[in-house]
Chain A
Amino acid sequence: MEKQKCECGHLNPYGTHLCESCGKPLEEKDKNATMVDMRYDGVARRSQTYNKKIVDRIWNFFSSVKIGISIIILILVTSSIGTIFPQEMYIPSNVSAAQHYENEYGIAGQVYYTLGFHNLYGSWWYMALIASLGISLIIASLDRVVPLYRVLKHQRVSRNEGFLSRQRMFGVSHSEDPEQTMTDAKQFFARKKYNVREENGSLLAEKNRFTRWGPYINHIGLIVFLTGCMLRFFPGMYVDDLVWVREGETEVIPGTDGEYFIENDEFFVDLYDENDEVFGPAMQRASGQTVETYQTNAILYQREEGGTVGAEPDLNEVKSKEIEVNHPLRFNNFSLYQSDYKVNEFNKMSLSMTDRETDESIGTIEIDLFDPQAEYDLGDGYRVVIDSYFPNFEFDDEGEPSTVSDIPDNPAFIFQMFSPEHDEDGEYSFVGIQRNEDIFNENDYQMSFEGVETKDVTGLTVRKDLTLPFLIVGGSIFMIGLVQGSYWSHRRVWIRRFDNEVWIAGHTNKHWESLKKEFRALSKETKLDVPEDKQQLKEEEDEQSNGRDDGNGRN
């Protein structure tokens, strides 16, 4: 489309409402209005100009603030739905989700589960909402920032009469000495840290233009942030794992391709003293113990370069650290967090073989519950063979002994005891916690429980998150833009002299009361009248025509 030429000579893009240079209204509608629409200084915005092609339609859709707000509200409402019942990740993992929601919350829970609200924030439609927020942010910003930048750069000091008289704040003053008035005004604005420009009898005082870029900068920050969040789904960007390490043991750290190992030198839990002078009363009221510290004294190792894979690795100590909640161990993009623990896990168990008749002990064996030997020789023809080992014993559905897991929470054994009397087949004995049965009930010997050695186990979360730099950068840009756009306002005052008349008009992008205060101060120093606020006049008229007179009017 062809450009529009204004009478001041400036060529404006098609769709411009107010000349980019002198501000003259270019459209009939604006010419007839008492106030012009100063949003984006009446520039030609793509979304307001074209709507023929499908691309235009999409562009216009996403650049609309109404749509933007609708998307924000949709995200707001759906997010709140997700807090009605706990999300799937917070429910116990030993029952199926479907079951859990039905059992705990009845019909409502069932509906919640069926509609997929139990995993709302990971659902495709929630993601789609976030994505459209991102698209809307980009398009709406581009639609406005480019023309706005151009118009603010090209604006002339001297503005068209039609522009000035159609500003929201506009006034005409008579002055005996307009020259002096202009000089006073100039000094006033300079003192108030305005950027003052003069051009044959016209004045433009402008302040804080940079604040106009705030929203766009904060939108860019948001886009970077959202991009960072999406990167999480690319492989290699994100590791979330848990490693259990027993005291004195060393484990490979998952996610590091077998390169790093962590040793748990010691784990302990400290409690607050219940008779503490300061905290005692609160703890006695809550009648519970409060944990002060969870701590793992950990040592990090790295595998020796060039060691053969599969063979027992040679490890080099990298560093040691006391890992506590809020104080993770960091290395090489990874962090190890104190996140779980188990105290007094069974580690070794001692049992003695005794003669049932005389109660005489033949010998004692110590079984490493994580690595039991097949056979323990007690000498003199006595030995104990482990026939079966159940680290976490239970009877299965058929009533057979079996184990729930490899963790020795409830260890049980079937021993085969060999003695000079029974050196062929031995005697069988079943031993567990508080359980000691000889299977055929006619044994000469038995295994009796002597003691157990326990160890503490620490649970460390292994985390790598390469998206964090994006989030940090995005978040910082966002905050900078937010502050930039929120804590200042862009004010412009135009003054133009026509013989003995001084025309004055003002515009701000927000906080008009503060602009008015400025005008009042200006009026005190110069002979200029305070311009009228047309919008306020209009609202006051409206209020009065409602038939309500609350005595605030100027009657």
Chain B
Amino acid sequence: MNNQMEGMTAMAEISANLLLIAFFLYLIATICFAVSVTGRKWRDKQGDVIGNRWGTVGYVFSILGFCFSVGYFITRWIAAGHVPVSNMFEYTTFLGTTLCLAFIILYGIYRTNVLGMFTMPIVLLVIAFASVFPTELEPLIPALQSNWLKIHVTTTALGQGILSIGFAAGLIYLIRTLDFTKRNKKVFWLEFIMYSLVSLVSFIIIRYAFELLQYQATFEYVNEAGESAEMTYNMPALLGPNEGTLLTNGMMEPLISMPAWLRSDDANTVIWSLGAGLIFYFLLRLVLRKPLGGAIQPLLRGISPDTVDEVSYRAIAIGFPVFTLGGLIFAMIWAQIAWTRFWGWDPKEVWALITFLFYAAYLHLRLSRGWHGERSAWLCVIGFVIIMFNLVFVNLVIAGLHSYA
């Protein structure tokens, strides 16, 4: 997806192309599902959608996209000589693929088109997000040269993918059932989720826009150790590095300078994304004259909240054992072999444990009355936030042993 093709081997090039094709297939699938859900004329009086082939077409495209993703994965494996899940680009792309697989499984059980309308765009977003990270093939340090590591990472990603479907279904449930005519906390938080998604989209758009413009501004700055170092920004610097001086001519001077302990280029990217997200969000609201959730709600009329609730529960019931196996058990086996101890309270490990505990709590809450439906849907959202926190924040910010960046 990136224009970093020079210097790649032929196999790596094939791999990149397969991923690109998969991306477009997912895009087509998204469109099909959207048409199947929103196209009014296929609806009978009961609001059930009948005689509508668009969903099936979307499903076929999802499966095709998945096949191409697998093709990408295998060819990249051949090119690198190791399973491609060892840096942020590879891991995140793989997560998108597992998300698609999880969708294929759950659609197979429940045949809900609306799930496709929500999941496929998330797959697209995740893959686009992945290609923001450097895509070159990287050599493996000794600790990562282990089959158990590969088994651990792939299974964990699969578990996270399936659990994320729980989030997609939970989101559908909330949009379907919340009362958007009121201004209350629930609507606020739902809109906050929508805003976060818009920010993620803005982030990807901005990244590609500045990459097309080939924006690069290099700074000399004083790093955490008090030494002079260089840092290159790919976006105009709103937040500059500690005691930074701009080395590239004609680029924007930073507005404020950050302390040394903060990765100022990452912070700068975050500010850009959140800011642009805010602008896009309010533009959308202006156009729609409604909360975003409220604007989507009418499209979801024909959907039974109970079914969506069950889809989300089912996804978590399926995903939890897979995640436990990959994220805890295989992780422990690998840690025992590579790091001499199966558990070390490294932040990444602790956050995997937290994810596990959270979903365990969710499953037990489902046993109690009053925790189905809306509350359960909110829990799915929180669970997804924990997974994303683990992926993005723990990896990039408090990176421990597993540091990918």
Contacts and interface: CB of A to CB of B under 8 A. Distances in A.
A153 interface: no
A75 B357 CA distance: 8
Contacts of B336: 468
Nearest to B324: A482
A86 B297 CA distance: 45
B340 A337 contact: yes
Contacts of A72: 357, 360-361, 364
B350 A79 contact: yes
B354 A278 contact: no
Interface string A465-485: 100100100010011001100
B301 interface: yes
Contact of B138 (A75, A282, A338, A339): A282
Contacts of A425: none
A79 B357 contact: yes
B318 interface: yes
Contacts of B110: 513
A463 B321 contact: no
Contacts of A324: 142
Interface residues of B, number: 67
A83 B398 contact: yes
B275 interface: no
A292 B303 CA distance: 54
Contacts of A66: 368
B342 interface: yes
A483 B321 contact: yes
Contacts of B368: 65-66
B314 A277 contact: no
A260 to B, nearest CB: 17
B338 interface: yes
B12 A552 contact: no
Interface in A81-95: 82-83, 87, 89-90
A513 B142 contact: no
A511 B142 contact: no
Interface residues of A, number: 66
Contacts of B12: 278
A291 B46 CA distance: 65
Nearest to A122: B345
A326 B364 contact: no
Nearest to B346: A90
Contact of B365 (A69, A325, A471, A546): A69
Contact of A290 (B139, B345, B367): B139
A294 B314 contact: no
Given A291-B142, A552-B302, A285 B136 contact: yes
B146 interface: yes
Contacts of B320: 482, 486
A479 B301 contact: no
Given A278-B137, A281-B7, A337-B340, A76 B357 contact: yes
B311 to A, nearest CB: 8
A89 B81 CA distance: 35
A33 to B, nearest CB: 13
A191 interface: no
A550 B301 contact: yes
A121 B346 CA distance: 11
Interface string B309-331: 01001100110110011000100
A90 B399 CA distance: 13
A281 B314 CA distance: 44
Most B-side CB within 10 Å, residue of A65, A79, A82: A79
A291 B140 CA distance: 8
A479 B134 contact: no
A195 B253 CA distance: 75
B141 A290 contact: yes
A292 to B, nearest CB: 7
Contacts of A89: 344-345
A536 B307 CA distance: 11
Contact of B304 (A272, A338, A486, A552): A552
A66 B342 CA distance: 31
B345 A82 contact: yes
Interface in A531-548: 536, 539, 546, 548
28 contacts: A69-B361, A75-B357, A76-B357, A76-B358, A80-B350, A83-B350, A278-B80, A279-B137, A281-B7, A285-B136, A291-B141, A293-B142, A326-B142, A326-B338, A463-B340, A471-B332, A479-B321, A479-B324, A479-B329, A482-B320, A487-B317, A510-B317, A514-B109, A514-B310, A536-B306, A539-B373, A550-B301, A551-B301
Given A281-B8, A478-B324, 16 more contacts: A76-B357, A76-B358, A80-B351, A82-B345, A278-B79, A278-B137, A279-B137, A280-B7, A283-B139, A294-B142, A482-B320, A486-B318, A486-B321, A510-B317, A513-B307, A539-B373
Enumerate the 8 nearest inter-chain pairs by beta-carbon distance, A residue then B residue, closest first.
Answer: A325-B142, A282-B136, A83-B347, A76-B357, A279-B139, A282-B138, A326-B146, A337-B340
